[in-house]
Amino acid sequence: MPEEIDLKQTQFYHHHLAAGGKMVPFAGYLMPVQYSDGIMQEHLHCRDNAGLFDVSHMGQVLVSGEGAALALERLMPVDLEALQINQQTYSTFTTESGGISDDLIVTRWSEESFFLVVNAACKTQDIAHLKTHLDVHANHIDVTCLADRQLLALQGIRAKEVMAELAPEANKLVFMNGCRVAIDGMDCYITRSGYTGEDGFEISVADSDALMLADKIFSYSLVKWIGLGARDSLRLEAGLCLYGHDMNLETSPIEAGIAWSISKSRRPGGAKAGGFFGADIILDHIANGVAKKRVGFLVEGRAPVREGADIIDKHGAVVGQITSGGFGPTLQAPVAMGYVPTELSAVGTQLHALVRGKERPITVTKMPLVKQRYFRG
């Protein structure tokens, strides 16, 4: 197909094909949406055992130089100076209008260097954003895309059993911390993090070692490849946002329900309040509230309600829109997320989604829809 000519492949492309992977275009790459077992079984396997996700399409970026922490704090509402070495945090790149241009994970590698993992579809613009606004030449800050590394996510309740043998020191990590380890001589940077709501690890490894590392992980029979389809259903049950769907340039972190991602010191009254793009708008949202909010929904029946469906109130008026929706294999029920007016955001509020002209009952529910099982020590 002509549109696939320029699609990239990760190092694991042939591994995916051998495992029965159905490859689809995603963020400029050919990626596996599912394997021969299907999305439902992959999802449940990750819950009950351990699944390996190829997330090498994500952007891995190193920002380093004297004053890198303070420079980065202009672009995101977190207190990077407060991070310990090898500690990480979730954050967003905010805009002057109070919106979100991407979300990311930031890990402090040293006093003056930070490892960023950004979304695949946004990595080119993110790197340009960093280079422009960090004023790299004037401030002697380096922004380096680590294009010679792959990224694997080992996720699931039994992931720790595998990691305990592969890298015992990594298995001692608590959620949102990392360390550099050698696995059979392969240099890896491992963090205890992920996008499934389960305990797990993300492993950054050099291209030259990537296939050998995957083979080592798959020597454990409890590990299976998991595709994009189950990655989406897992994160949806965990109540996690997908950039470009559940948040974007038009939504603030407060509207998106991720106020927790803004460090206390950067909030009103904090020691380092404001100072990031869109701070006046975002801090006003914290202080005075917002008109709309992202909420989770349980859906009546068995058929999923998909992104784009209108949300209507009891009077038949359109009040919002579904931003993510699908079937939740753990719950054995359809689940969704979307935006509604704040006055309709209370748990238990009854609304309807309009699907092909028919009203489907939906109920605002507490998120996460499935309890997260991160390892916090």
b/e map 147-157, b = 16+ CB within 10 Å: eebbbbbbbbe
User: How many CA within 13 A on the CB side of residue 340?
Assistant: 28
The two three-digit tokens of residue 33, written as one number: 């949406």
The fraction of the chain above a pLDDT of 90, given in percent, is 97
When pLDDT is cut at 50, 70 and 90, the band that residue 45 belongs to is very high
User: pTM of the full predicted structure?
Assistant: 0.96
Full set of structural domains in the chain with CATH: 2-55+148-237 (3.30.1360.120), 291-377 (2.40.30.110)
Given a cut of 80, whether residue 237 has pLDDT beyond it is: yes
Q: Tens of pLDDT along 46-105? A: 999 999 999 999 999 999 999 999 999 999 999 999 999 999 999 999 999 999 999 999
When pLDDT is cut at 50, 70 and 90, the band that residue 6 belongs to is confident
Residues 252, 278 contacting (CB under 8 angstroms): yes
Strands 100-110 and 59-64: unpaired
Residues 6 or more apart in contact with residue 107 via CB below 8 angstroms: 86, 87, 88, 114, 115, 116, 117, 178, 191
Closest to 90 measured CA to CA, from 306, 285, 243: 243
* 92 strand-pairing partners: 103
Residues 6 or more apart in contact with residue 204 via CB below 8 angstroms: 60, 115, 146, 149, 150, 151, 188, 189, 190
Cα Rg, the chain, nearest whole Å:
21
- Measure the CA–CA gap between 178 and 171, rounded to whole angstroms: 10
Question: How many other C-beta atoms can be found within 10 angstroms of the C-beta atom of residue 56?
Answer: 24
The fraction of the chain above a pLDDT of 70, given in percent, is 98
What local confidence, expressed as pLDDT, does residue 313 receive?
A: 97
When pLDDT is cut at 50, 70 and 90, the band that residue 342 belongs to is very high
When pLDDT is cut at 50, 70 and 90, the band that residue 136 belongs to is confident
Residues 105, 90 contacting (CB under 8 angstroms): yes
What local confidence, expressed as pLDDT, does residue 139 receive?
A: 76
Given a cut of 50, whether residue 4 has pLDDT beyond it is: no
When pLDDT is cut at 50, 70 and 90, the band that residue 245 belongs to is very high
What local confidence, expressed as pLDDT, does residue 178 receive?
A: 98
- Measure the CA–CA gap between 348 and 262, rounded to whole angstroms: 27
Given a cut of 80, whether residue 138 has pLDDT beyond it is: no
Given a cut of 80, whether residue 146 has pLDDT beyond it is: yes
Strands 223-225 and 50-54: parallel
When pLDDT is cut at 50, 70 and 90, the band that residue 5 belongs to is low
Given a cut of 60, whether residue 2 has pLDDT beyond it is: no
User: How many CA within 13 A on the CB side of residue 255?
Assistant: 22
Q: Tens of pLDDT along 289-335? A: 999 999 999 999 999 999 999 999 999 999 999 999 999 999 999 99
DSSP labels, 25-74: EETTEEEEEE-TT-HHHHHHHHHHSEEEEE-TTSEEEEEESTTHHHHHTT
Report which DSSP code applies to 231: H
The mean predicted confidence, pLDDT, of the chain is: 97
Residues 277, 249 contacting (CB under 8 angstroms): no
